[in-house]
Amino acid sequence: MSLSIPHPDAPRLVADAALADQDLHAWACLDPTAAAARHGPLAGLVFGVKDVLDVAGLPTRCGSPATDDRPATADADCVAILRAAGALPLGKTVTAEFAHVAPGPTRNPHHPSHTPGGSSSGSAAAVAAGMVDFALSTQTGGSIIRPAAFCGVVGVKPSYGAVSRGGMRVMCPSLDTIGWHAYDLDVAARVADVMLPRHACDAIGQPRLCLLPMQPGYQLDRSSIDALASAGNALAAAGYAVAGIQAMPHALDLLDIHRTVVHYELAHALTVLVPDADAVQDGRLSPRLREAARQGLAIGREDYEATLARLHAARQRAWELDFGDADLILTTGALGPAPEGLSHTGESGFNKAWSVLGWPCLHLPTTHDDRGMPLGVMLVARRGADHALLRWARDIHRLVDRRAALPSRSPSNGAIHDPTVSRA
């Protein structure tokens, strides 16, 4: 394996990113001494790392003043794999506080008064703004897919457990999944080739799709309905088998499972991650996080274990019982375009069920609304079919993408994207 060495372009790349980030606020910290292997399958690619994952020499603050500035002594497993493959970690991207709901300072590159989503806000925004080729992110509910949808980039949420969480500040052990945002599908797939295991179900043929237009309790924006219908019609016209269903089976039960597991596990994780009791009283933890912790600590151990048993039973339920012979589910990862305002990260309800099930999800940007805000669709596959999902997505995206042609771009050559211009 090639040794990791300081990258000669790192200081310039960091300076360019810092300049472009003055109004965007996607970065928690940057590393002008960043190093990577000389050679490898990802050589030449630059990436960001969500600030719940360790990068050697940089602090892991989790978007909270309740943590400290001590630098990590080693990379998280996922960062080490990418660095060894030749990719350059440029720094730490902003996360919502402890990867929950209280947003960080990041703005949406397409419109600064709109949320970039969360909790992986900095990762999606840094990719959308052209500062990096891809960025590591995490998802508990919708923290990869929703920012991808709001910022108009590719979002990869792998199967639960597919990526090692070594060196991650895990908030919800039963749900937390490491994934990434990427400039395009080619970059997303190259990262997957390095990061994800292969499975027997990666066989390729034209997939059968199940179109899912809604879930109980949530109303899609008209623009999202149109974007999903347009994608379904384009695929059907191209000869894909596309069958529709009205709603996801057991959706309300999955949302209930998610709510209980998240609150219980987050509350108990915080007692380890923030052992300083004064942090709760002196304002270093936000009111939202304190309330979430209060709700979690009120859940009894027996209720939590019963809910966890329901989660495991849901993951064992055969795909075919609910989705028949479909290979992919075609749906949406957001209820609409990024809403205006920076005090919230948007509704993640259309993602939580997939996080409970542990199935791989992929957001594909496809169009914009009449204000220029990104819209897209999401593909969901069986657990373990991550590589098949990405390969199927190449042809699917070509057919459903209604944006302009992608311009040439290379962060390693110092190009920083103007977010007012469509990237695709």
Counting as low any pLDDT under 50, the low residues of the chain are 1, 406-410, 412-424
Q: Do the domain assignments include residue 309?
A: no
CATH code for the domain of 58? 3.90.1300.10
Total-model pTM: 0.94
pLDDT of residue 202: 55
Q: Do the domain assignments include residue 289?
A: no
pLDDT of residue 31: 97
| Catalytic, out of 4, 64, 123, 143 | 143
Pairing of strands 4-6, 35-37: antiparallel
Q: Do the domain assignments include residue 136?
A: yes
CB 369 within 8 A of CB 375: yes
Q: Do the domain assignments include residue 375?
A: yes
pLDDT of residue 417: 41
pLDDT of residue 278: 72
Q: Do the domain assignments include residue 418?
A: no
Q: What is the DSSP string of 38-105?
A: SSSTTTT-EEEEETTB--BTSB--TT-TTS--PBBSS--HHHHHHHHTT-EEEEEE--SGGGSSS--S
CB 361 within 8 A of CB 351: yes
Phi, psi dihedrals of residue 366, rounded to the nearest 5°: -130, -25
pLDDT of residue 277: 65
Q: Which two tokens stand for residue 130?
A: 């052209």
Number of domains making up the chain: 1
Using DSSP's 3-state secondary structure scheme, residue 384 falls into coil
pLDDT of residue 52: 98
pLDDT of residue 404: 79
50 in catalytic set: yes
143 in catalytic set: yes
Using DSSP's 3-state secondary structure scheme, residue 237 falls into helix
Q: Do the domain assignments include residue 250?
A: no
352 in catalytic set: no
Q: CB neighbours (10 Å) of residue 280?
A: 16
Q: Do the domain assignments include residue 417?
A: no
| Catalytic, out of 4, 64, 92, 119 | 119
pLDDT of residue 267: 94
Q: Which two tokens stand for residue 156?
A: 């990869």
CB 383 within 8 A of CB 360: yes
Q: Do the domain assignments include residue 42?
A: yes
Which domain covers residue 352, as residue numbers?
Answer: 9-196+206-245+322-400
| Catalytic, out of 50, 92, 157, 352 | 50
